[in-house]
C-alpha cells in the first residue's frame, strides 16, 4: 500500500532537511519514500493508491519515548501526596509496586500495558522502550519481560531496581546476574541498573551491567537522580547508550557525556513530580552532549506518558528551544535506543530509523491539531495530538 499525506502546514523532518512549509510526503510499506513541497506531490506521487489530506496541520516524527516503566500494577497516590506534604522521594516505594505487580497475574498486567501503550499513542508516541523492575524475583521479572516484549519496541531488564525487602544485596545480585538474566534474556535488548544511594552502589552496578554486556545486551543506567554519584561516569565507561535522570551532574560528568556516545536522558515530568531540580538540559546541550527527553511513566515518580507535557516543560522550564526539545524527544530518544538514522533513513541495524522523517525512515507521524508545533509550548496542557501513525497506519 502506498499513501500520499498532503496539506501539511509545517513538516518537521528533524533532519538536515529542516522544516518544510506546505509540505507532503509519501509512504510505501510503512516507510517514507519521498518528502517535499505539496505542489510537487502530483508529480512525485502519481501512483499512490491512497491520499490522506491532513487539512493544514503540522506534522513531526512520532515521539520516541526511550524510558518508561509500564509493567506494573497498583497506585502510589498516597505516597505522592505525602511528598507534597514535605516527605522526600525514597527508592523504597518501589517495593510497594513490587507487591502489587507480583500478585497482579499476567492477564491483568498485559491489559494494563496495552492501555498504557494506547494512551501513549494517543499523545503522539510511536516508539516505546519499557522495562522490567517491579517483579524483583525470577518468576515475576521473566513474566514482566515477556509481557513488555509483546508491546514495546525495546525492552530493558531492570532486575537491579531495588534489593527486595528482607533480601541480602549480594545474594539478590547473584540471582539477578544468574537465573533472572537467563530467564529474561530471550525478551530483552538492554540491561539497566538503578545506581543510586538507597539502591545499588558503583561496584554492584558494574557487576550487573557487565553481566548484561557478556550476554550481548546494550547498557542503560539510572543515574544521578537523587544526588551526586557514579552513575554518569560508569555509564560512559561502559559505553552505555544512555544515562537517565542526570539531575545532579558535575562539570566532569557533563564533559564525560559530551565526549561520549552516551545520551543524557532528561525526564522532566519525574523532576516535577519529585520536586527535584530539573535536569540541566541547557548546560548539557551547550557542552555538546546529546540529550533525549522521555516520560519515565511509572507509578512512583512520573505517572504520565505525556511526551507533549515533557516537551513543553523542557522548553518552558529547562530553556531548550522548540527545535531542541522536539529533536530530543524524537531523534534524541532514537539515539538513546540506537534506532537513529545513520544514513539512507536506516538505523545502525539496517531497520527503518525512528525519530526523523526522511526517505527510508519509519513512517511514524505525529499530526498536531494546530498549524505549528510552537503550540506544544505556547498552549501547554491543551489537546495537541490530532492523529498518530505508526509505519504509515493510523493507530
Ligand atoms: O525512574 N529511579 C528509579 N526508578 C523509577 C522510579 C521507580 C518508582 O519509584 O517506582 C524512576 O524514577
298 is in an annotated binding site: yes
- Ligand 1 pocket mutation pick from 75, 94, 130 by most atoms within 8 angstroms of CB: 94
Question: Do 360 and 222 share a structural domain?
Answer: no
pLDDT of 373 > 80? The answer is yes
Question: Do 367 and 293 share a structural domain?
Answer: no
CA 126 to ligand 1 center in whole angstroms: 22
pLDDT of 92 > 80? The answer is no
366 is in an annotated binding site: no
Could you read off the pLDDT of 20-74 as tens digits, one per residue?
999 999 999 999 999 999 999 878 777 789 999 999 999 999 999 999 999 999 9
- At 130, the pLDDT band (50, 70, 90 cuts) reads very high
- Ligand 1 pocket mutation pick from 161, 269, 293 by most atoms within 8 angstroms of CB: 161
Q: Which strands form 393-394's sheet, in the order they lie side by side?
A: 31-37, 19-28, 2-12, 50-61, 365-368, 385-390, 393-394
Give the pLDDT mean for 97-106: 97
- Ligand 1 pocket mutation pick from 78, 162, 270, 300 by most atoms within 8 angstroms of CB: 300
300 is in an annotated binding site: yes
Q: Which atom of ligand 1 sits closest to the CA of residue 196?
A: 2
Report the candidate in 238, 237, 181, 235 with the shortest Cα–Cα distance to residue 211. Answer: 181
Residue 187: inside a domain = yes
Q: Which residues pair with 244 in a beta bridge?
A: 222, 265
Question: Do 218 and 104 share a structural domain?
Answer: yes
Residue 68: inside a domain = yes
The domain that holds 378 is classified in CATH as 2.30.40.10
Q: Which strands form 218-223's sheet, in the order they lie side by side?
A: 63-65, 125-131, 154-160, 190-195, 218-223, 242-245, 263-266, 291-293
The domain that holds 98 is classified in CATH as 3.20.20.140
pTM: 0.98
Q: Nearest C-alpha to atom 3 of ligand 1 is from which residue?
A: 194
Instruction: List residues near ligand 1 (CB under 6 A).
Output: 69, 93-94, 97, 194, 222, 225, 270, 296, 298-301
Query: For residues 363 and 376, what is the distance between their CA atoms, to the nearest angstrom?
Result: 21
**Per-residue model confidence (pLDDT) at position 223:** 98
245 is in an annotated binding site: no
Residue 43 belongs to domain spanning: 2-61+352-394
Could you read off the pLDDT of 233-270 as tens digits, one per residue?
999 999 999 999 999 999 999 999 999 999 999 999 99
Amino acid at each position: 500500500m502506498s499513501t500520499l499525506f498532503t496539506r501539511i502546514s509545517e513538516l518537521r523532518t528533524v533532519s538536515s532537511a529542516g522544516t518544510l512549509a506546505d509540505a507532503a510526503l509519501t509512504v510505501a510499506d510503512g516507510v517514507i519514500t519521498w518528502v517535499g513541497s505539496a505542489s510537487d506531490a502530483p508529480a512525485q506521487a502519481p501512483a499512490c493508491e491512497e491520499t490522506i489530506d491532513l487539512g493544514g496541520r503540522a506534522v513531526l516524527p512520532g515521539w520516541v519515548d526511550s524510558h518508561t516503566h509500564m509493567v506494573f500494577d497498583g497506585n502510589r497516590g498516597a505516597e505522592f501526596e505525602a511528598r507534597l506534604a514535605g516527605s522526600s522521594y525514597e527508592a523504597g516505594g518501589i517495593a510497594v509496586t513490587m507487591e502489587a505487580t507480583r500478585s497482579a497475574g499476567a492477564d491483568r498486567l498485559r491489559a494494563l500495558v496495552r492501555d498504557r501503550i494506547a494512551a501513549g499513542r494517543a499523545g503522539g508516541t510511536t516508539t516505546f522502550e519499557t522495562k522490567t523492575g517491579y517483579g524483583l524475583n525470577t518468576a515475576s521479572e521473566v513474566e514482566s519481560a515477556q509481557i513488555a516484549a509483546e508491546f514495546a519496541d525495546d525492552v530493558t531488564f531492570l532486575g537491579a531496581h531495588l534489593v527486595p525487602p528482607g533480601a541480602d544485596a549480594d545474594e539478590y545480585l547473584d540471582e539477578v546476574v544468574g537465573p533472572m538474566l537467563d530467564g529474561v534474556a530471550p525478551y530483552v535488548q538492554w540491561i539497566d541498573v538503578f545506581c543510586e544511594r538507597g539502591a545499588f552502589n558503583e561496584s554492584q552496578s558494574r557487576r550487573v551491567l557487565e553481566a548484561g554486556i557478556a550476554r550481548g545486551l546494550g547498557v542503560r543506567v539510572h543515574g544521578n537522580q537523587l544526588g551526586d554519584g557514579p552513575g554518569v561516569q560508569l555509564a560512559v565507561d561502559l559505553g552505555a547508550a544512555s544515562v537517565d535522570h542526570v539531575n545532579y551532574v558535575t562539570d566532569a560528568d557533563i564533559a564525560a557525556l559530551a565526549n561520549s556516545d552516551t545520551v543524557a536522558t532528561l525526564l522532566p515530568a519525574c523532576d516535577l513530580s519529585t520536586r527535584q531540580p530539573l535536569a540541566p538540559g541547557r548546560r548539557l546541550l551547550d557542552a555538546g552532549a546529546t540529550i533525549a527527553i522521555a516520560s519515565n511513566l511509572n507509578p512512583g515518580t512520573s505517572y504520565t506518558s505525556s511526551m507533549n507535557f515533557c516537551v513543553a516543560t523542557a522548553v518552558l522550564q529547562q530553556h531548550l528551544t522548540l527545535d531542541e526539545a522536539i529533536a530530543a524527544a524524537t531523534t534524541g530518544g532514537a539515539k538513546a535506543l540506537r534506532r537513529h538514522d545513520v544514513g539512507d533513513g536506516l538505523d545502525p541495524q539496517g531497520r527503518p530509523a525512528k525519530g526523523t522523517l526522511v526517505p527510508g525512515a519509519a513512517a511514524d507521524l505525529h499530526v498536531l491539531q494546530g498549524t505549528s508545533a510552537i503550540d506544544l509550548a505556547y498552549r501547554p496542557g491543551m489537546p495537541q495530538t490530532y492523529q498518530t501513525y505508526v509505519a504509515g497506519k493510523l493507530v
